[in-house]
Chains A and B, each alone.
Chain A
Amino acid sequence: MNAILQVKGVTKRYGGLTANNDITFDVAPQEILSVIGPNGAGKSTLFKQIAGFVTPTTGEVIYKGTRISGLPPHKVARMGVVRTFQETTIFKSMTVRENVIVSHHLRSKASLLGFFFGSAQAKADEAEFGKSADDIIDFLGLQAIRNEMASNLPQGHLRALGMAIGLATHPEIILLDEPFAGMNHDETMRMVALVRRLRDERGLTVLLVEHDMPAVMKISDRIVCINFGEKIAEGTPAEIQANPRVIEAYLGSEDAAIGM
């Protein structure tokens, strides 16, 4: 497999607690790969390490042949690996459109001084960002709430806005942290379709962490299952569903229900 992202022996220890232990897997270009596991299995820690928010104790993350683990998050984002957040993390006191526009920062060519003095490049950038923001808003079907204050939005729209923020950076890999959490069946199915379109229409590689098993099974090309910080299985949805270690991990824990 010609991997776009390689996670190699990533281990993260917090004092005596090992959050991730020697996790290794590859991600193929334009793949939808889900990381699953019971609560506290270390999925979010793994994501944080890929996006540069946390540096692995040992091991490394390779993106297109370059090591990205240990770089600060803004550098990782500039290379094309962007994370959206578990909570509905957005800029609350901005409108939807402002949220998306400011998130184009990565692509600005003008310098900060250029912005201050309003140089030609800065103006060109602003115009381009506005247009691109409108494109993204249309793509996600957020036209109606374009000028709404983000703090006034309901859950579903917030999640979509979070995705819009991620898209605005024009990533190659987008890391979605629990995109279906707290959604009802209809909302989830709509979101599943949307994530598919990210891949099909925008050519993104999607990594997601998720608890909603039916959605994961439906959407994923491949699944990596983590328990107690260690990778216990990797494979297609069918393989994962049949894997005795995965079933044991889920049945052994209180939150049970792999949902099949």
Chain B
Amino acid sequence: MSMPRLAGVLAFLLGVFVLVPLVIGMTGRWDFYYTLTSVALLSVAAAGVWLTFYIGRINIGQGAYALMGGYVSAVLMTQYGVSFWLTLPLAGIFCAAISVLIGLPILRLRGVYFAMVTLVLTEVARLTALALPITNGAKGITSIPLPGELSVFGMTIIPDFATLENPKLAFYLMAALLMTLTYLILWRIVNSRLGHLCRSLQQNEELSASIGVNTAMLRVLAYAISSFFGGLAGAIFVAISQSIYPSSFVVQDSVNFMLYCFLGGLGYVFGPMLGTLLLYFGWDLLSIAKEYQLLIYSGALIALMLVLPNGVLSLLDKKGGRK
């Protein structure tokens, strides 16, 4: 790992795990924990969307998997008494498995056709959650317990969140850790041969197939990883709000995930993370504009896309920076 890159990674870790808690502790703005936790989790889901972009598919269906992951975690915890820490990977795996079944037929579609089908997915997920008995319909699932203790061989690794003085900080650290891991995985995928193959898929699927890439398999794999991230993020959101409803993730959320990727930059691994941060905070800050909030927000988005079509991170490139 080169020196500037190492320095960048260290600065990032220091900022996320040390500076943020310090600053919040000093200013006493505890509500920022909730905002930053949301940003971290949304950026995990957006990372998945970004990966599907990377194989050349516009994915507007991440909300469906976030909802699905949330319900899997909620149902397992409330009805079967499974520990939250076990439901977390299970939610991800469940979403990945479902996405393979859904992805096999729909990933054959390209461009706007794939986008339209994924757009519908979120709505299908919402209606399914309304209709199924196990999800408790429109009433949703409430009073979900906080994450319990996680111990291995009697050693407590993570204490019971309910006993914590400050569960907000615990949730923040958990979300930040998950985000870090997610982007580590994403970075590794993109910078290994896998990423090379994904790019070949994005640029020319037919040629990719003719040089021996199993394009169908690779597409489904990328989509499954994407949905896995979506499921994880959904499960943690549920743990934080301790409730889930069919409308917890709607089409608007799916569209937002896509916007985060666009804004941050589709060519940059850390694009969706930055995009999420900017858009989420930008929206919150604009609340001072009251009824003009949406107008200014959408105007700024359009302007950004016109000026920086390759995302905010492309600013680095213009200065001769690195990816």
Contact = CB atoms under 8 A, between A and B. Distances in A.
Interface string A76-108: 011000111100011111100010011101101
B215 interface: yes
Contacts of A108: 193
Main secondary structure of the interface of B (DSSP, over half): helix
A222 B8 CA distance: 61
A105 B203 contact: no
Contact of A93 (B193, B194, B203, B214): B203
A82 B211 CA distance: 7
Nearest to B209: A73
Given A115-B192, A116-B189, A118-B192, A74 B209 contact: yes
A53 B206 contact: yes
A122 B197 contact: no
B199 interface: yes
Nearest to A122: B193
Contacts of B197: 102, 105
A91 B207 contact: yes
Contact of B211 (A92, A98, A105): A105
B222 to A, nearest CB: 11
A51 interface: yes
Nearest to B194: A115
Nearest to A77: B212
A84 B197 CA distance: 18
Interface in B203-219: 203-204, 206-207, 209-216
A89 B192 contact: no
A125 B194 CA distance: 13
A112 interface: yes
B203 A106 contact: no
B210 A94 contact: no
B204 A90 contact: yes
Given A91-B199, A98-B196, A122-B192, A106 B211 contact: yes
B188 interface: yes
Contacts of A122: 192-193
B203 A165 contact: no
A108 B211 CA distance: 12
B308 interface: no
Q: Is the interface of A mostly helix, strand, loop or mixed?
A: helix
The number of chain A residues touching the other chain, given as a range, is 35 or more
B200 interface: yes
A168 interface: yes
A72 interface: yes
Nearest to A79: B212
Contact of B212 (A53, A101, A105, A125): A105
A149 to B, nearest CB: 12
Contact of A112 (B194, B212, B216): B194
B221 interface: yes
A115 B193 contact: yes
Contact of A126 (B193, B203, B215): B193
B213 to A, nearest CB: 5
A102 B196 contact: yes
A55 interface: no
Contact of A106 (B188, B212, B216): B212
30 contacts: A51-B210, A53-B206, A53-B209, A72-B216, A74-B210, A74-B212, A74-B214, A78-B212, A82-B210, A82-B211, A85-B206, A89-B204, A90-B204, A90-B207, A91-B207, A93-B203, A94-B200, A94-B203, A98-B196, A102-B196, A103-B211, A105-B193, A105-B212, A106-B212, A112-B194, A116-B189, A116-B194, A122-B192, A125-B193, A165-B207
Interface of B: 188-189, 192-194, 196-197, 199-200, 203-204, 206-207, 209-216, 221
Closest 7 CB pairs of A and B: A106-B212, A77-B212, A73-B209, A115-B193, A91-B203, A103-B211, A115-B192
Interface of A: 51, 53, 72-74, 77-78, 82-85, 89-94, 98, 101-103, 105-106, 108, 112, 115-116, 118, 122, 125-126, 165-166, 168-169
Given A74-B213, A102-B193, 19 more contacts: A51-B210, A53-B206, A74-B210, A77-B211, A82-B210, A91-B199, A91-B203, A93-B199, A94-B199, A102-B199, A105-B193, A105-B197, A105-B211, A106-B212, A108-B193, A112-B194, A115-B192, A115-B194, A165-B211
